[in-house]
Amino acid sequence: MPKDTRTFACTKCGAAHPRWSGRCGDCGAWNSIEEEQALSVAGPSKKSLGMAKGRAVPLTDLSVQEEAPRRALSGIGELDRVLGGGLTRASATLVGGDPGIGKSTLLLQAAAMLGRSGAKVIYVSGEEASAQVAMRARRLGLADAPVKLAAETNLRDILTTLDKEMPDVAVIDSIQTMWADHVDSAPGSVSQVRAAAHELTSFAKKRGIAVILVGHVTKEGQIAGPRVVEHMVDTVLYFEGERGHPFRILRAVKNRFGPADEIGVFEMTGAGLAEVGNPSALFLSDQEKPSPGACVFAGIEGTRPVLTEFQALVAPAPHGTPRRTVVGWDGGRLAMILAVLEARCGIPFTGLDVYLNVAGGIRVSEPAADLAVACALLSAREDALMPPHCVVFGELSLSGALRPAVQTENRLNEAGRLGFKQAIAPAGSKLGGSGLEVRAFPDLPAVAGQVFGAG
């Protein structure tokens, strides 16, 4: 029997599978696996062996100046910072996000600003006609910006256009609408999306242009999401935000040319995206009206301190398994903190529904938020307010011990600047000099006992 050489991939997370199944074992998505067409990759020809291409060079022979990536600043400070200091030539950047979050708006604004600062920019739209893009540009007050528009979905035509125009920057909106005629499957399939990303990325490298690929995060169905091409590009940015909130966060999750985990903050206005230069207090609710279950976390996002508010609600579960609902934080981590509260502090949550929310539509991923979550849970469960004007930070270990956090001074100074008076922090952190009254604790039982009188 001939060997089955077909391969399958999950459209959601890109994981490869040897056979089809109804559910992806990696990300747990249902009905997301589809057959993938193998990309033919030619091996090295005999002739090319031993030739200069791909030759290994001693590290010491490479001068850094020569190889330093050249950057193009978009002039949108929040974007340039997330990119690590502007767009790098000969690079590929992926900008992912939910449909309607504002990716096209952001990139049209960036394209216009880059054009105005002298870069040659092409904006290729596979979703909207050029006239529609132009109309949007007019609405954004960017109608006169020197940007070339193309409405095109065929990869070969796009590469021909790019080859002819030789721009400095090309925006491809979106990667899911592009199709290569040498790949048999429908646009949006894993094979098509990967083939298009592969061709555009290698074109960018070869010709020294900066390519920006837009990718919609897909919920269900047969359209491949941006995660399937994350490994091919140099930089991966996600544009996030909650519907109903005007704030949008551009988050670097991978960056070969700068720090990952940096965020940029924008506000969606009637005239496009406006930068929010100082977001530290943006996500706080009114501190003059405290409520049980609310706890302010002094966090660090990328290089900047950002204060966010965790809100917990604990209610008797009517029947069956109690609910654990989390918005803006990791559900697994919540389960861990509930377990630590129960095992180390003797405070059980059995028979109680637990809801945890981060105010303002931001997502927190820092481990130093553990103690703030624990305090929010304790405050909700004991129906006790947090001490007034108080920030909290610290990572929790399974033993219940608190670990010192990084950038303690930065957190405390920012809290002081925003009018906070006290802080609850892990013992062992560098705590002086901020003007806040800092209470340092070695472990969670000490916090539960001394702050909430619980446990």
The least distance separating ligand TYD from the CB of residue 142, rounded to whole angstroms, comes to 10
Residue 324 structure tokens: 């654990």
Choose the stretch contacting ligand TYD; rule: CB under 6 A; options: 192-200, 269-277, 381-389, 392-400.
Answer: 269-277
Under rule CB under 6 A, residue 101 binds ligand TYD: yes
SS3 call for 249? strand
Considering the rule CB under 6 A, would residue 151 count as an interface residue with ligand TYD? no
Q: Of the listed pieces 36-44, 268-276, 360-368, 446-454, which binds ligand TYD according to CB under 6 A?
A: 268-276
104 interacts with Mg ion by CB under 5 A = yes
Q: Is 12 assigned to a binding site? A: no
104 is in an annotated binding site: yes
Tokens of 233: 């590009």
Burial (CB < 10 A; 0-12, 13-18, 19+), residue 71, is middle
**What's the min distance (Å) between Cβ of 262 and ligand TYD?**
20
Q: What binding mask, one character per residue, do residues 46-85 give for Mg ion by CB under 5 A, x or -?
A: ----------------------------------------
C-alpha span between 215 and 9 (Å, rounded)? 17
Answer left, alpha or beta for residue 102, where phi above 0 means left and psi between -120 and 50 means alpha. left
Chain centre to alpha carbon of residue 186: 28
Cite the beta strand spans of 395-453 per DSSP E: 395-396, 402-403, 422-426, 437-441
Q: Is 101 annotated as a binding residue?
A: yes
**CB of 225: closest distance to Mg ion in angstroms?**
15
The 3-class secondary structure across 121-167, one letter per residue, is EEEEECCCCHHHHHHHHHHCCCCCCCEEEEECCEHHHHHHHHHHHCC
CB nearer ligand TYD, residue 139 or residue 231 = 139
Q: Does 194 bind ligand TYD (CB under 6 A)?
A: no
- Candidate residues 27, 134, 232, 268; the one interacting with ligand TYD per rule CB under 6 A: 268
Residue (of 452, 448, 419, 453) closest to 436 by Cα position: 419
Asked if 270 touches ligand TYD (CB under 6 A), the answer is yes
CA-closest candidate to residue 369, choices 386, 392, 343: 392
Q: How far is the CB of 177 from ligand TYD (least distance, A)?
A: 12
Q: Is residue 218 involved in binding Mg ion (CB under 5 A)? A: no
Q: Is 352 left (phi over 0), alpha (psi -120 to 50) or beta?
A: beta
Say if residues 338 and 370 touch (Cβ distance below 8 Å): no
Using CB under 5 A, which of the segments 97-105, 157-165, 325-333, 336-344 binds Mg ion? 97-105
Q: Which is nearer to Mg ion, 239 or 393 (CB)?
A: 239
Asked whether 94 and 250 are in contact (CB, 8 A), the reply is no
Local structure of 230: helix, strand or coil: helix
Report the partner that residue 268 touches, choosing among ligand TYD, Mg ion, none (CB closer than 5 to 8 A by kind): ligand TYD
Q: Does 274 bind ligand TYD (CB under 6 A)?
A: no
Whole-number Å distance between alpha carbons of 183 and 57: 36
Contact 123, 161 (CB under 8 A): no
Of 53-61, 93-101, 225-233, 280-288: span binding ligand TYD (CB under 6 A): 93-101
3-state class of 9 per DSSP? strand
The interface mask with ligand TYD, positions 116-145, x = CB under 6 A, is --------------------x--xx-----
Residue 407 interacting partner from Mg ion, ligand TYD, none (CB closer than 5 to 8 Å by kind): none
With contacts defined by CB under 5 A, how many residues of the chain interact with Mg ion? Answer: 1
Binding site for Mg ion (CB under 5 A): 104
Binding residues for ATP: 97-104
Binding site for ligand TYD (CB under 6 A): 97, 99-105, 136, 139-140, 268, 270-272
